[in-house]
Amino acid sequence: MSTAPRALSQGRPQTGDRVERRIERVAMISLHTSPLDQPGTGDAGGMNVYVVELAKRLATRGVEVDVFTRATGSVQPPSVLAADGVLVRHITAGPFEGLSKGELPGQLCVFAREVLRAEAVQPVGHYDAVHSHYWLSGQVGALARDRWGVPLVHSMHTMAKVKNEALAEGDTPEPEGRIIGEEQVVAAADVLVANTDIEAKQLINLYDADPGRVEVIHPGVDLDVFRPQDPRAARRGLGLPEDAHVLLFAGRIQPLKAPDVLLRAVAVLLDDSPQLRSQLVVPVVGGPSGSGLEHPEALADLASGLGLDDVVRFVPPVAQPELAQWCAAADLVAVPSYNESFGLVAVEAQATGTPVVAAAVGGLTTVVRDGHSGLLVDGHEPRDWAVAIRRLITDGELRSRLSAGAVEQAREFSWERTADRTLEVYEQAQTVMEEAS
């Protein structure tokens, strides 16, 4: 299903005489992954956290949010109240199980039809705005916008052209169909939300987005969940040695996220300093995702091949409170991704007072202040990563200083601020739509 650029859209209600109204009800579209899914495996990750946390904060501001997502199980109820004012609607489109993200474009028409049908039983003007997340959702959101006569706000989260410019070794390039679909959504949206200034520039330079319709809104972090804790108590609660050097990776296990870079760096570190072996614990918290599903045991095989079975611990995805405990227990959290539109795990780790060692790519250069809240590493060479890791685990003064800076840095990112700015953008999108009609 394609979406025509704005100037060619057909069938959209005429709104020239429309009076702008307060945003009271928003349709969010998150087609390929549900905000109810556990982040860290499958297609669930930072976007899931983003959708549910933003929706909850909007609800506290008097905005009702319906989140439309594809049903992935026959036992799922048609709708689930995720929080007061936040309703997740499960849309049946295609088989419940066995569909990869790459196969979902074939279900766009069915999904869109069911979204329109759900709205059709409501009074005219039920929704005041559509907010779509990821390009698949944007295709549906553009059609809903045209039919309902409301503005479309779109968040890309990731972009094919950006990913293809910095592919991990062995990763699969994004297909041309996705690139075309993203270009269509960029042309159709009334306002595009970018997580960082870097993402905004990518939208403008790579997708020819209108700069006047691109707004930067940083995602947030739940500071009630991710907060400083006593590292020793956190380790005791997780069964970790209190005196260990804990190097944490948390996230989906796939080439894009590059957990292999951390393991290879640890191997270099131990080759140089064998005496550290008895002190190192390297937890990998998360599950296979994306192209990582093609070889789900690849990271475990790599750990064995590098002789790290005694230091690496694989931990299934955990809920947010337990993830906060893992972050607090760590000496550092490694985020070696080849690309991140933002890097939510990095913010969450910093909020617990744990420094981050991150690749100097994408949104991570915004999230992590090099030398203040963590260390940024240029490239993915294991030896460079080993040098950065060694600095942190051997220099207590540096680690203490970065820990304090990490807490300070995390305070810059708040879901409350994100929600307030998003509401402003919804209102701005109303104006943009009016002027384009």
Q: What is the DSSP letter of 104?
A: G
| Annotated binding residue 48 | yes
Residue 118 resides in a domain = yes
Tokens of 286: 């998360």
Please check whether residue 285 is in contact with residue 323, taking contact to mean a CB–CB distance below 8 angstroms: yes
Based on the fold, state whether residues 251 and 184 are members of the same structural domain: no
Based on the fold, state whether residues 142 and 267 are members of the same structural domain: no
| Rounded Cα distance, 380 and 337, in Å | 9
For the beta carbon of residue 392, count every other beta carbon within 10 angstroms: 21
Residue type, 185: V
| Rounded Cα distance, 101 and 174, in Å | 11
Residue 367 resides in a domain = yes
| Annotated binding residue 47 | yes
Based on the fold, state whether residues 269 and 190 are members of the same structural domain: no
pLDDT of res. 290: 58
Inter-residue long-range contacts of 396-404, CB under 8 Å, 24+ positions, other chains counted: 399/331, 399/332, 399/355, 402/355, 402/371, 402/372, 402/373, 402/374, 402/375, 403/353, 403/354, 403/355, 404/353
Cα dist from 433 to 140, 265, 436, whole Å: 17, 50, 5
| Annotated binding residue 134 | yes
Based on the fold, state whether residues 213 and 348 are members of the same structural domain: no
Residue 6 resides in a domain = no
pLDDT of res. 60: 97
What is the CATH classification number for the domain harbouring 193? 3.40.50.2000
Residue 34 resides in a domain = yes
| Annotated binding residue 46 | yes
| Rounded Cα distance, 283 and 304, in Å | 14
Token pair 């766009």: residue: 108
Instruction: Single out the residue of 192, 196, 123 nearest to residue 152, CA to CA.
Output: 192
Please check whether residue 389 is in contact with residue 114, taking contact to mean a CB–CB distance below 8 angstroms: no
| Annotated binding residue 44 | yes
Task: Please list the ranges in the chain whose pLDDT falls under 50.
Answer: 1-19, 292
Based on the fold, state whether residues 357 and 244 are members of the same structural domain: yes
Cα 244 to chain centroid distance, Å, stands at: 30
Please check whether residue 385 is in contact with residue 261, taking contact to mean a CB–CB distance below 8 angstroms: yes
| Annotated binding residue 318 | yes
pLDDT in tens, 64-98: 999 999 998 888 899 999 999 999 999 998 887 77
| Annotated binding residue 257 | yes
Determine the structural domain holding residue 140 and report its residue range.
25-220+415-436
pLDDT of res. 336: 98
Instruction: Single out the residue of 107, 102, 108 nearest to residue 177, CA to CA.
Output: 102
| Annotated binding residue 354 | yes
pLDDT of res. 213: 97
Residue 326 resides in a domain = yes
Based on the fold, state whether residues 342 and 427 are members of the same structural domain: no
Token pair 């109303």: residue: 430
pLDDT of res. 32: 86
| Annotated binding residue 178 | yes
Based on the fold, state whether residues 124 and 184 are members of the same structural domain: yes
Bridging pattern class, strands 312-315 and 332-335: unpaired
Strands (E) located in 201-310: 214-216, 245-250, 280-285
| Annotated binding residue 207 | no
pLDDT of res. 27: 98
* Angle, helices 135-148/176-188, rounded to nearest 10 degrees: 40
Based on the fold, state whether residues 426 and 402 are members of the same structural domain: no
**How is the beta sheet containing 129-133 ordered, strand by strand?**
79-83, 86-91, 64-70, 25-29, 129-133, 152-155, 191-194, 214-216
Phi, psi (deg, nearest 5) at residue 168: -70, 155
Cα dist from 164 to 41, 195, 339, 376, whole Å: 22, 19, 10, 22
Please check whether residue 204 is in contact with residue 402, taking contact to mean a CB–CB distance below 8 angstroms: no
Residue type, 214: V
Phi, psi (deg, nearest 5) at residue 100: -80, 165
Q: Domain total for the chain?
A: 2
Based on the fold, state whether residues 405 and 419 are members of the same structural domain: no
Based on the fold, state whether residues 114 and 167 are members of the same structural domain: yes
Kindly report the pTM of this predicted structure: 0.89
Residue 187 resides in a domain = yes
Question: Could you report how far apart the first and last alpha carbons of the chain are, in Å?
Answer: 23
Please check whether residue 434 is in contact with residue 18, taking contact to mean a CB–CB distance below 8 angstroms: yes
Based on the fold, state whether residues 110 and 210 are members of the same structural domain: yes
Tokens of 408: 């300070």
pLDDT in tens, 185-228: 999 999 999 999 999 999 999 999 999 999 999 999 999 999 99
Q: DSSP per residue over 146-215, as a string?
A: HHHT--EEEE-SS-HHHHHHTPPTTPPPPPHHHHHHHHHHHHH-SEEEESSHHHHHHHHHHH---GGGEE
| Annotated binding residue 32 | yes
Based on the fold, state whether residues 188 and 277 are members of the same structural domain: no
| Rounded Cα distance, 319 and 324, in Å | 9
| Annotated binding residue 158 | yes
Residue 113 resides in a domain = yes
| Rounded Cα distance, 220 and 102, in Å | 29
Residue 139 resides in a domain = yes
